[in-house]
């Protein structure tokens, strides 16, 4: 049985791969997407517990993905991940409903801790 279903949206192959290599062995079902539109499309088709989204991507950025997820699926937790460290962006993400904000490069333990906290919070609601 899966611990939860997670959608990872990041335009960098290495980030998607590292998230999958960290989360799948821990019992999470993980869907990987290179762009936000494909990731958002899955949310209409399958129950998802958590979205991990990069902040800076072509076509649609992480803030817009966060807005859309929280607007249509408020029960889904969102963690914003970025290599562009900015207090303003972190505050904006949290104000828009992100559960957490992870800076790249993050460690596998840091990712697992953030995911576990987000899913624990979701399950208490």
Residue tagged 């408020």 (tokens): 74
- Per-residue confidence at 24, pLDDT binned at 50, 70, 90? very high
44: domain CATH number?
A: 3.40.50.2300
**pTM for the whole thing?**
0.95
**Residue 53, in any domain of the structure:** yes
**Residue 65, in any domain of the structure:** yes
**Residue 11, in any domain of the structure:** yes
* Bridge pairing between strands 50-54 and 28-33: unpaired
DSSP state of 71: H
Structural domains in the chain (count)? 1
The pLDDT score that the predictor gives to residue 91 is 83
Within a 13 Å sphere around the CA of 108, how many CA atoms are in the beta-carbon half? Answer: 9
**Residue 114, in any domain of the structure:** no
Mean pLDDT over the full length of the chain: 93
pLDDT digit string, tens, across residues 38-87: 999 999 999 999 999 999 999 999 999 999 999 999 999 999 998 877 77
**Residue 45, in any domain of the structure:** yes
**Residue 121, in any domain of the structure:** no
71: region left, alpha or beta (phi > 0 left; psi from -120 to 50 alpha): alpha
Measured distance CA(22)–CA(12) in Å, rounded: 16
**Residue 119, in any domain of the structure:** no
Structural domain containing residue 74: 4-109
**For residues 21-34, average pLDDT:** 98
The SS3 of residue 54 is: strand
**Residue 77, in any domain of the structure:** yes
CB 77 within 8 A of CB 66: no
Q: Please choose, from the candidates 100, 49, 56, the residue with its C-alpha nearest in 3D space to the C-alpha of residue 79.
A: 100
């Amino acid at each position: 049985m899966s611990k939860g279903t997670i959608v990872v949206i990041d335009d960098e192959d290495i980030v998607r791969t590292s998230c999958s290599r960290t989360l799948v062995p821990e019992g999470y079902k993980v869907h990987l997407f290179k762009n936000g539109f494909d990731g958002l499309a899955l949310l209409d088709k399958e129950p998802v517990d958590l979205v991990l989204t990069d902040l800076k991507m072509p076509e649609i950025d992480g803030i817009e993905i966060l807005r859309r997820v929280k607007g249509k699926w408020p029960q889904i937790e969102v963690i914003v991940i970025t290599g562009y460290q900015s207090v303003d962006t972190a505050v904006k993400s949290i104000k828009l409903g992100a559960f957490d904000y992870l800076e790249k490069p993050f460690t596998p333990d840091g990712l697992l801790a953030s995911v576990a906290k987000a899913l624990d919070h979701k399950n208490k609601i």
